[in-house]
Structures are given as C-alpha cells and as structure tokens.
Chains A and B, each alone.
Chain A
Amino acid sequence: MNLQEKITILGLTDTGLVRKRNEDAIGFDSALGLVVLADGMGGHRGGDVASSLTIDTIISALQRKLPTIEPGNIDPESGFSLESICILEAIDLANKTVYKTAKALPDHRGMGTTVVVLHFHNNTLSLAHIGDSRCYRVRDDNLEQITRDHSLLQELIDRGFYTTEEAKHSLNKNLVTRALGIDPGVTADIQEDIVKKNDIYLLCSDGLTDLVEDEYIYLTIKRFSDNLEEAGKRLITKANQNGGKDNISVMLCRIKDDFSTKKDWFSKMLAWFD
C-alpha cells in the first residue's frame, strides 16, 4: 500500500552553531511510511560516516524487504509483526556494516551512531531505537516521549540514584550506553503501537531536546500541525537561539488518514476457519 497520500513526512537537519560538521543523518520513504534518523559520534573522524552509512543501509534493506511482506502477520516466537522483525534485521545489517567499516579504516575507529527507525503499517507503527535520539507523539492535547534513552542519565534515573532534576545538574548529558556500530552485535529496543488519524510523530536528535523545552516543542507542533515545514524550521531556529551546541535534526510525520489494510472477502472467509 502506498502511504504517500496518508502520511505527510518532513525531515530537516542542521549543523548548529558550534560543530564544524553535521554528524546527524536522516532519510525517509514516503510511499513505505518509513522514517529513519541517526546521530553519529566518536572517533577523531567518522561520526558522519557512521550515521549516513546507517541511514543508507537501513533504508535500502527495508525498501527491498518490506514490499515482500504480507501485512498483518505476527512472528509467533517474539509476538512482533513481520515488519518489526524486518526492521531489527535491517538494524543488525547496519551495525555489521558500520562495525566492519570502522575496523577497516584506521581514522574511523570508534565511530558509532544512534538510530531511530519508525515504520507505519496497517494503522500501527513499529518503532526501534538505539541510543539517545528520540521519538515523541503528539496526540490530542498531549506530547509523549515514546522511546526511552539509552543514556547514563536515564539509567541513573531508572535505578533511583537520581531524580530527573538532580541528574540534570550533576551530569554531562552526552553519555550513551548503547550505540550502533561499536560492537559486532547490538540490541535495538522495539515496540509497536496503534496509530490514529491526526497523530503527529517527531523524531529528533539530542541537539533539539537538550536545548529546547518539551513545552515549546509541543506548542510549536500544535500550532503548525498543518505546516510541518514551518514547525520543523522553528524548532531548529529555537535550538540555535539557545546555543546550537550540537547538530539538530527534526523529522515530523502527520497521519492524515486511516491506512488499515482492509482484508478482502476471501481472507475474511478464510479467517472463519481459523
């Protein structure tokens, strides 16, 4: 099913004011309803290589694989949809590719990247992530962060060593506990959720969330829900006004219409005999 008419997708990325290079990378496929964001890091060089390699590998793997999948099927062992399984495989492939490249090129040693992969299918979403890039959802009058960072800060909060407030003051934010490409294998977190008409999804790198308050993000998306480009530009401008310390990437997806894969009468009849 072509989702181009059902979902509006926007992606913007900006170097910010301090960094010399943009080590973030973004990519999407509107027809597939696929959105990917990566924030590269590490090594003397190579953060940008890790992130762009990851985007390319994941998008092209999923462009090959997703169209061959019959919608609405569940992998019995894990309970995840086949789409989710495909995403995990694509992430695994990207991890191997970045890891091997880093090993082969001496000045790219230690490079890695965060990644967020969001895919819409059959009125649901599959969402996978590694590191501290995030996915938020605006639904009705509420902004909700639906990924949980793989960062030292988050680990400390989860284990009760710090409250959110204390951790903010006592720690550097830029320590991730999981990244793609630094080990031969990596575990992505994956989840599925129901998607509703008028939902807006935001994927972003920490260059946005470290510098712009949730409330500002929410109000901007709400105000410009019909003009995602304006919303995205304003968020990046705000991050730069607040210092632009890091690269800033913003991807927005607005659900314009129902995109369920309606079963035809034949499969409905077959379902009778299940």
Chain B
Amino acid sequence: MVAKLITTSSSGETNEYPLTKETITIGRKPNNDIPIDNLSVSGRHAQVITILDDSFLEDLGSTNGTYVNGKLVKKHALENGDNITLGKFQITYQSGAVDNEQDFEQTMIIRPGEAGMPEQATQNKDIDKSVQKISAAMASEAASTAPSPKANRSACLQLLSGANAGRELVLTKALTTIGQPGIQVAAITRRPQGFFLIHVDGGPDNNVPKVGGSAIGPSAHELKSHDIIEVAGVKMEFYLK
C-alpha cells in the first residue's frame, strides 16, 4: 500500500494524493503537485519527500507556517495519522507501511551462533528463515572446527626463485611486510576471515604484486592456499598449514 496525503477542503470535499514521487510540493500556485486555492497558503508552501516507506514534511519558508498536530514544524518525519495544517487548510497523512515498521527500523542484535534464534522473533518470516539457515550453518561449522577456522591456521611463504629459493617463512605476525629494508613493496595481513596480500609501494618501476600471474588490484587480495605470489620479481608460494 502506498502512503498518501488526504486533503479536506472547507466544503468537506476530500482528495487523495498517493506519494509515488520522491518529492511532492504543496502550495497555492497551480504548478504544485497538490495545488491549494486558499489565500492563507503560500505559493510554494511545503514539500513531502518520500524515501521507500518513509515520508518527510518540510516547510518551504511559508508565510503562515506548517503545523503538524498543532505544532509548528520546519522539518518533520511523518507518522501515520499526522494532521498537517497549512494556513487554514487540513491534510492527513496515511502511511503505507504496516504498524510494526517503526520498531523494525531499530537495530536489533541477533545471536545466530547461540541457541539458534533471535532474542525475539522479528515478525518477518524472511528474516526468521534466514536466521535459522545461518544458525544451522554456524552450528555445523562450530561442531567441525575451531570458532574461526581460517584465521587460526598458520600460513607459510616458500620462496621459489631468487637467491634464497627454497627458504620458508612462517607468517607468525599479524602483519608481514615483503620487500627490501626501507622499501616495503607488499604486505600480508591476517584478517579474521583469512590472509590478504596488499600492494604497498611499486617503487620507481611501479611494480604491482602478482597472484597466479596476474597483477592484484588496489584493494586487498584474499589469498588461497598454494597461490603463487610474485613480488618485485621474486616468486613464492603461499600455503596454509
């Protein structure tokens, strides 16, 4: 159901205006979306901006002001049943959303890792179903391995080319820089979801690290076990133990 404004003229005649446009203007001039032929109303009096299920009323600097439920407002988030007064003219706002929508916008904490269901049912079947799915997935992950399986594994780099070919470096630190001292070419960072290769500085030749033969982008690149990395011409294999 679309939200709408319901106008009532002095003779008791009502008109409905569905809020289907993002911005709807109200005023005395005929080029308004809701023209009101009444001298107490300014030429461009107010506007209503609608985003998804929510509508906002804004006074456009009118002479006689805009009132909601008897209170003068500049900007107002409309609620179902709000009574808007422009000069001597009355408009009622009817929201398109269901009643629990208001509460629903609030951030809620759900804990799918635990008993399996949110603290309170969310009154939305879609979400409750998703939470159930997630709970099942998380429960099976928890049963099979440690809480965050990827991040807890240790990783290694084995050099494949260059003077130190064959050498192995265990990535014990959360952040390992690769390159000559003073010039950090690339880094491997351990994030909760796994290990990532980061391009730091290409130097004068603008050397971008490669994974599996192709240059990585400017954002962090998630590494998979046995990826072949090339940094500043040196090849190495990344693997998880």
Cβ-defined partner of B137 (8 Å) among A81, A144, A159, A179: A159
Cβ-defined partner of A196 (8 Å) among B107, B172, B201, B219: B201
The answer on a CB contact under 8 Å between A124 and B133 is no
Shortest distance from the beta carbon of B201 to any chain A beta carbon, whole Å: 7
Q: What would 13 A/B residue contacts be, using CB atoms closer than 8 Å?
A: A18-B77, A39-B107, A41-B106, A78-B174, A84-B174, A110-B119, A132-B107, A155-B138, A159-B137, A174-B104, A191-B174, A192-B190, A206-B107
B131 contacts which chain A residues (CB < 8 A)? 152
Chain A interface residue number, banded = 35 or more
A158 contacts which chain B residues (CB < 8 A)? 193
The answer on a CB contact under 8 Å between B109 and A194 is no
CA distance A76 to B106 in the complex (A): 42
- Within 8 Å of chain A (Cβ to Cβ): is B47? no
A interface residues (Cβ-Cβ under 8 A, vs B): 17-18, 39, 41-42, 74, 76, 78-81, 84, 110, 112, 124, 132, 139-142, 144, 146, 148, 152, 155-156, 158-159, 161, 170-172, 174-177, 179, 182, 189-194, 196, 206, 242-246
- Within 8 Å of chain A (Cβ to Cβ): is B113? yes
The answer on a CB contact under 8 Å between B112 and A155 is yes
A156 contacts which chain B residues (CB < 8 A)? 130, 133-134
A42 contacts which chain B residues (CB < 8 A)? 106-109
Chain B interface residue number, banded = 35 or more
CA distance A194 to B220 in the complex (A): 11
- Within 8 Å of chain A (Cβ to Cβ): is B51? yes
B interface residues (Cβ-Cβ under 8 A, vs A): 49, 51-52, 54, 56, 75, 77, 104-113, 118-119, 122, 124, 126-127, 130-131, 133-134, 137-138, 171-175, 177, 184, 187, 189-193, 198, 200-201, 217-220
Known: A159-B137, A175-B127, A194-B198. A41 touches B191 (CB 8 A): no
The answer on a CB contact under 8 Å between B175 and A194 is yes
- Determine the residue in chain B with the shortest Cβ distance to A156: B130
The answer on a CB contact under 8 Å between B191 and A194 is no
A152 contacts which chain B residues (CB < 8 A)? 110, 112, 127, 130-131, 134
CA distance A132 to B133 in the complex (A): 20
The answer on a CB contact under 8 Å between A174 and B218 is no
Known: A84-B174, A156-B133, A171-B126. 13 other contacts (CB 8 A): A18-B77, A80-B173, A81-B174, A144-B219, A155-B134, A156-B130, A156-B134, A170-B126, A171-B130, A172-B104, A174-B106, A177-B111, A246-B105
